[in-house]
Amino acid sequence: MSGTNVSLILFFCFALGLPLLAMQDNKFEKASVHSCTGDCYAEWQQETGGVVALAAAQAEEKASASPAELGEAAYGGCIACHGSGGEGGVGPALAGQSEQAVYDKLVQYKNGETRGKQSALMWGQAAMLSDEEMKNIAVFVETLPTP
């Protein structure tokens, strides 16, 4: 068997096997949430209140969160480059910067301005953020202790 054939077989095994692996049992003993019907769905709905109740609870939680808490949640997309504590890594350190400085930089990136060699990485990230999300991230970053 040639190397190409082996590669194709491995690819197809991976391509078909990965979705099956992702369909692990939930606590309702179904392969996925989407196959939870009948009694299983009724049990889930009774336990959680259903989709509407879950959405209302999420909205209430978000409405009562502080800007720093909302910013911390949004900062999850920043961790890969800036570190969980804002210590930097691929991107520069953010810890120790003021709320206004972080917000201004995010606005500049969102406007497509070049701030350094890695600006192109930030343009797409900032473009996805609303003004409110940028403010919340800036508030959160200001709370990070300087390394």
Long-range contacts of 58-64 (CB under 8 A, 24+ apart): none
- Any idea where the domains of the chain sit in the sequence? 3-63, 66-143
Indicate the fold that domain 66-143 takes in CATH: Cytochrome Bc1 Complex; Chain D, domain 2 (1.10.760)
Q: 60 burial class (0-12, 13-18, 19+ CB within 10 angstroms)?
A: exposed
Instruction: Give the tens place of pLDDT for each residue, 2-45.
Output: 666 556 565 655 555 555 445 444 454 545 556 788 888 888 88
Find out whether 76 and 146 touch, Cβ atoms under 8 Å. no
Task: Say which amino acid occupies 23.
Answer: M
Q: 122 burial class (0-12, 13-18, 19+ CB within 10 angstroms)?
A: buried
Q: In terms of pTM, does the model score above 0.75?
A: no
Instruction: Give the tens place of pLDDT for each residue, 48-97.
Output: 888 888 888 888 887 788 999 999 999 999 999 999 999 999 999 999 99
Structure tokens that stand for 105 in this block: 């930089």
